[in-house]
Amino acid sequence: MVLYESMISIINFFRDEEWPNSCKKVAKSLASRLPCDINCLRVVESFVGVNGRSKQLRSAVAFQFLLTCLNEKESDAEEILRLLISINVKDKNCDLFKMYICLSLAENWLSFDTILKDKAILRELWGVCLRNCSSGITITDLRSYASNVRSKASYLLQGSTS
């Protein structure tokens, strides 16, 4: 409840001309203070996307957490998706828990950013990433989070093609 009330205060505090920069600063601040684990997903998903600002904040926070999880300081959307594509989920040393978090963060980032939704190259790269995860992990893979990553990627892939 406290996080929700804080989000409402943040969204309503800034004037329209201050909002874009302030949104980025708030997102960076949150991502730098919280660990990149399952709790960062809870934080991102607590931002209920009811208006443009809340959706923008949810997307920005997800993006900053994604940068943190991938140990990136600053990158553009295309670079981040290419980095996700480069992760070899077939490798037995691949941290699938981290991949699950990254998939969830990328989903929130891309789904709630109205500008990115319309970029064909990003939709294509996101599809490649999802296909890598859904087909790169076999149903017999017993690693922790293997079925979670495969199922999430398959579900998101179905939604992205319809």
Please tell me the distance from the alpha carbon of residue 141 to that of residue 147, in angstroms, as a whole number: 8
pLDDT in tens, 109-160: 998 888 887 889 999 999 999 999 999 999 998 889 999 999 999 999 998 7
pTM of model > 0.85: yes
| Residue 65 confidence (pLDDT) | 96
pLDDT in tens, 44-97: 988 876 788 888 999 999 999 999 999 888 788 999 999 999 999 999 999 999
Place 161 in a pLDDT band, splitting at 50, 70 and 90: low
Flag whether pLDDT at 8 surpasses 70.
Answer: yes
